[in-house]
Structure 1
């Protein structure tokens, strides 16, 4: 062979140039085998991906890497499933197989997920996770913490099948909560088929023996290494499933789910489903992710080294190797066809329970879902997420507010009121929380109807005639862009700015109007650079004074007179009535 001959060419150099050409003399690794591998990737790549991710049970995992044809797809699938949702979406390595295995979830506390969230569309569900913070409930300092949650853009297969069995609750219908039925439930097991399938995958050793007999021992070992790794993983998976299948499942899992047409500021919410205590998908845990990362590394190294070594092999060895890869490819497709999707919880029954029959701890879990939905709305709200940082987003805090305060329609003024009223703001329940609660409970009010609604919690100091107390008052609030800049905060087209216009960030100020006695309001102005909650002062304003301010257009908001303010106030009062009814 001349020094210019490519190393990937595997035609025989000892052949007589005068003899007729043979099959092996025209076979070139670089010109033939690569094309064959690319073609087979089109045929079996989806099968390999799904089996490597456990979508066909432990037996499928064992067969995922038997054939080198499709190994690149195995590497991609493992990298996809091992990545967090935001990274999978950013790198564009998301696939139907990865969605079926682990879904697509974006955690609420990830800044990188927040960057992906706005371009991913509307979520189809929200998950709240109970286990991570259950131990902290008794800690007074942690009572206001929001439970960990994720907004969901693709459901894994098991959760999707579970929710398909839950009927939709239309808008306007009474609230129905679904939990697992109270009876001993054992995981569905297909142990015999899975164990046989794992055992049969050992036929891969025949290829190793044949290649060893042809003097290609290293090639055989390198080609078999991914199979050995995935087969070992399949055995461990099957052992785990067998152990779990011998004991009943817990009555309540750790995942609470609200799914359906979730309300966002851009559209009205529709039908809904609420499931409390669903079992968490084990494949979203760190053990599976570590398994996939190691599998991707081993498979990538194996396919690279295999092709390098093949370029140095006799043509007969290459054809033998290729034949085995075609054989394993065909058998792998057959295993995929006969194996059922891995869904050990498929037969577990869910039962509907009316709101009145729920114990208090389950009611709080429903409100955790409402708080998560409220925060999800804030992430994509035209006002911007950071305008809501001091709003209430915790069911525990909400429960404390409702049970520990008086819900009254008007703020009680002192007997000799002045033009300035000292106030102590304790909490604010904003429009996103109100619209979430109203949708979950079946109200037909939209997020846009409730855009400027709020409930404000005040602490009243002790006086000579009354003890100190906490009150909750329905109110109205708007975000204004009152500044010297010519561009206003909510994209001005004139004096009246429609609700839902985006904020540009100039001179942002919250304006609150809290109703007092007939014809009077307490007006509170809080620039965004100052803390909203805490000690502040309000100014007494009459209906006429409020109308004059709104009609002037200086606030760059959608209200033009006090009557529009009163109409929004009625929505806030409806929300307070719902809270009293739910927590009563």
Structure 2
């Protein structure tokens, strides 16, 4: 028998050991096995040294690719693609920006937020910010569904302020603080990862230099990134941290229509998590691309190698896998800001600029409630959610309880509405100040701001009046009379659906008198409008008929809601004074 036909000959063995041979298939399966150690290290949870070792072994590369794609994606995309992991949440958190239309679709099934972030402009502390409008447009809000490890640890270090207790705000203590880092350990760990070059050298001596280079490419990419990270951290560690950061946080059991608010924690000027920035996201995105190309080329190249080369390559991957696990357990979690102290400050002793940042949190929380409100976000597009606008309104408006009518009572009155402060804003104010009044209590409450025309005896002025408003969904419903449901009363909190959705405002204007403003939701409520003057009896008759399909059945219930509007209005004015 010839050597070519002999199954035991080296030539026959080599020819049978192709790309689809068993050892390569086992190696491919091993690479597909997830590695939480590699995921954690590439996310920076073990410092820059961990980043350098994350991709040394090809075993677990698929996990590296997946977690890099997850961390590089925005919160809504991560949730949509199903690549969100607990490790990724621990590194970068899970936030949904308020200004993202795509995030709104994800928010419906994301559960209840655990915190709210308000990001101030990067130059917030600069004294040259004179254009308040420009500064306000740079502010962004995000509702948070998972806190990153560093922020979570910071919040665990301060107590909850329970409902009923005065407002308490935490800021960093005023003393020079430097980032705590074990730079020597990180530098040594990065340096030891250069041992990966031994694999390249050994494979090169066996005629597989290309395989060695392909296998080492992900390590080289992440090693260079780790060096840059360590240099950046070294530079930051040489100067004290700013006394006031750009991130404001309100955490706890946030008030929603579906639940009452609980304990709260407010932190102003926290340091931003650097790993949520564009640079880290770009780094992870490129790392995922490099790792994907490398692992594909590695297995294509392995299929063309001598079995001895495959065994050498596999042995090195197991070696790096073991060393990577060792480094993971030896390295401490990277948390350079963990030791920075927070101190509590009362509202009375808070400077004006920090009070303005609390107002921004209030407006952000009001928007957060609006996203999941049974009435739907679209119904609140004309409500005020800007702290700047709110400040202007409250500073330039007279707070009164009744709309002033002419001495000769008319049947209708021409009005100029300039703003509406809705139930989500009022309930946010009440919760943040410690009130036990819930969002459901304030469901039909509001404050309406009018502009009064100038007359001979009175100059033009703006007034803010607590009022009541409801959303009716059947006032123009095209239901055949044969199937009419008659008087129907639907409790507040039910989704508003159907035809002819209409806002009804009832503004007190005298003893037993109301201004009734009726506005279909497709029309603007702000601006010029006309209100009808109604008596208690007329309003009771309308409510008792059940044609509005709302929970209010008598004028007494309207008055009770009005009292809650007035309480919330008093707290709001006191907070902004």
TM-score by length of 2: 0.94
**What stretches of structure 1 of length at least 5 have no aligned partner?**
1-12
Question: How far did 1:23 drift?
Answer: 10
Question: How far did 1:288 drift?
Answer: 0.8
Aligned to 2:65: 75
Instruction: Measure, in 1, the Cα distance between the counterparts of 2:9 and 2:62.
Output: 40
The answer to whether 1:327 aligns with 2:319 is: yes
Provide the secondary structure at the position in 2 that maps to 1:356: coil
Q: State which of 460, 463, 469 in structure 2 corresponds to 1:471.
A: 463
Provide the secondary structure at the position in 1 that maps to 2:260: coil
Cα distance change, pair 140–347 in 1 and its aligned pair in 2 (3 A): closer
Aligned to 2:249: 257
Q: State which of 507, 519, 536 in structure 2 corresponds to 1:543.
A: 536
Question: How far did 1:385 drift?
Answer: 0.3
Cα distance change, pair 102–567 in 1 and its aligned pair in 2 (3 A): same
Instruction: Measure, in 2, the Cα distance between the counterparts of 1:246 and 1:299.
Output: 34
Aligned to 1:526: 519
Aligned to 2:445: 453
Provide the secondary structure at the position in 1 that maps to 2:35: helix
Aligned to 2:494: 501
Provide the secondary structure at the position in 1 that maps to 2:468: strand
Provide the secondary structure at the position in 1 that maps to 2:84: coil
Aligned to 2:162: 170
- My pick for the range that moved more, 422-431 or 405-414, is 405-414
Describe the superposition over 1:355-399 as per-residue Cα deviations: whole angstroms up to 9, x where unpaired. Answer: 111112211211111111111111111111010000010111111
Instruction: Measure, in 2, the Cα distance between the counterparts of 1:229 and 1:463.
Output: 74
Instruction: Measure, in 2, the Cα distance between the counterparts of 1:326 and 1:575.
Output: 65
Kept after mapping to 1: 8 A contact 2:67/2:88: yes
The answer to whether 1:157 aligns with 2:137 is: no
Question: How far did 1:400 drift?
Answer: 1.5
Aligned to 1:5: none
Aligned to 1:563: 556
Q: State which of 114, 120, 143 in structure 1 corresponds to 2:104.
A: 114
- My pick for the range that moved more, 548-557 or 206-215, is 548-557
Question: How far did 1:16 drift?
Answer: 3.9
The answer to whether 1:311 aligns with 2:303 is: yes
Provide the secondary structure at the position in 1 that maps to 2:116: strand
Provide the secondary structure at the position in 2 that maps to 1:581: helix
Instruction: Measure, in 2, the Cα distance between the counterparts of 1:203 and 1:348.
Output: 36
Aligned to 1:343: 335
The answer to whether 1:196 aligns with 2:192 is: no
Instruction: Measure, in 1, the Cα distance between the counterparts of 2:292 and 2:486.
Output: 58
Aligned to 1:4: none
Question: How far did 1:330 drift?
Answer: 0.5
Aligned to 1:363: 355
Aligned to 1:86: 76
Instruction: Measure, in 2, the Cα distance between the counterparts of 1:289 and 1:520.
Output: 60
Describe the superposition over 1:98-130 as per-residue Cα deviations: whole angstroms up to 9, x where unpaired. Answer: 111111111111111111010111111110111
The answer to whether 1:407 aligns with 2:399 is: yes
Aligned to 1:233: 225
Question: How far did 1:311 drift?
Answer: 0.7
Question: How far did 1:241 drift?
Answer: 0.1
Provide the secondary structure at the position in 1 that maps to 2:113: coil
Question: How far did 1:32 drift?
Answer: 3.1
Matches within 5 A, 1:18-97: 30-39=21-30, 42=33, 45-97=35-87
Question: How far did 1:18 drift?
Answer: 6.0
Cα distance change, pair 360–468 in 1 and its aligned pair in 2 (3 A): same
Instruction: Measure, in 2, the Cα distance between the counterparts of 1:137 and 1:508.
Output: 43
Kept after mapping to 2: 8 A contact 1:144/1:397: no
Provide the secondary structure at the position in 1 that maps to 2:230: helix
Q: State which of 420, 426, 434 in structure 1 corresponds to 2:412.
A: 420
Q: State which of 435, 440, 461 in structure 2 corresponds to 1:443.
A: 435
Provide the secondary structure at the position in 2 that maps to 1:224: helix
Q: State which of 549, 573, 584 in structure 1 corresponds to 2:566.
A: 573
Question: How far did 1:137 drift?
Answer: 7.0
Instruction: Measure, in 2, the Cα distance between the counterparts of 1:361 and 1:541.
Output: 44
- My pick for the range that moved more, 353-362 or 58-67, is 353-362
Cα distance change, pair 18–78 in 1 and its aligned pair in 2 (3 A): closer
Kept after mapping to 1: 8 A contact 2:118/2:249: yes
Kept after mapping to 1: 8 A contact 2:469/2:504: yes
Question: How far did 1:236 drift?
Answer: 0.3
Question: How far did 1:132 drift?
Answer: 6.1
Describe the superposition over 1:40-73 as per-residue Cα deviations: whole angstroms up to 9, x where unpaired. Answer: 654x611111111111110000001000001111
Kept after mapping to 2: 8 A contact 1:132/1:148: no
Instruction: Measure, in 1, the Cα distance between the counterparts of 2:309 and 2:424.
Output: 67
Cα distance change, pair 157–487 in 1 and its aligned pair in 2 (3 A): farther
Cα distance change, pair 236–178 in 1 and its aligned pair in 2 (3 A): same
Kept after mapping to 2: 8 A contact 1:147/1:394: no
Instruction: Measure, in 2, the Cα distance between the counterparts of 1:473 and 1:164.
Output: 41
Question: How far did 1:336 drift?
Answer: 0.7
Instruction: Measure, in 1, the Cα distance between the counterparts of 2:164 and 2:102.
Output: 37
Instruction: Measure, in 2, the Cα distance between the counterparts of 1:238 and 1:142.
Output: 35
Aligned to 1:298: 290
Question: How far did 1:173 drift?
Answer: 1.2
Question: How far did 1:539 drift?
Answer: 1.1
Instruction: Measure, in 2, the Cα distance between the counterparts of 1:146 and 1:238.
Output: 30
Provide the secondary structure at the position in 1 that maps to 2:510: coil
Count how many residue pairs are aligned between Structure 1 and Structure 2. Answer: 569
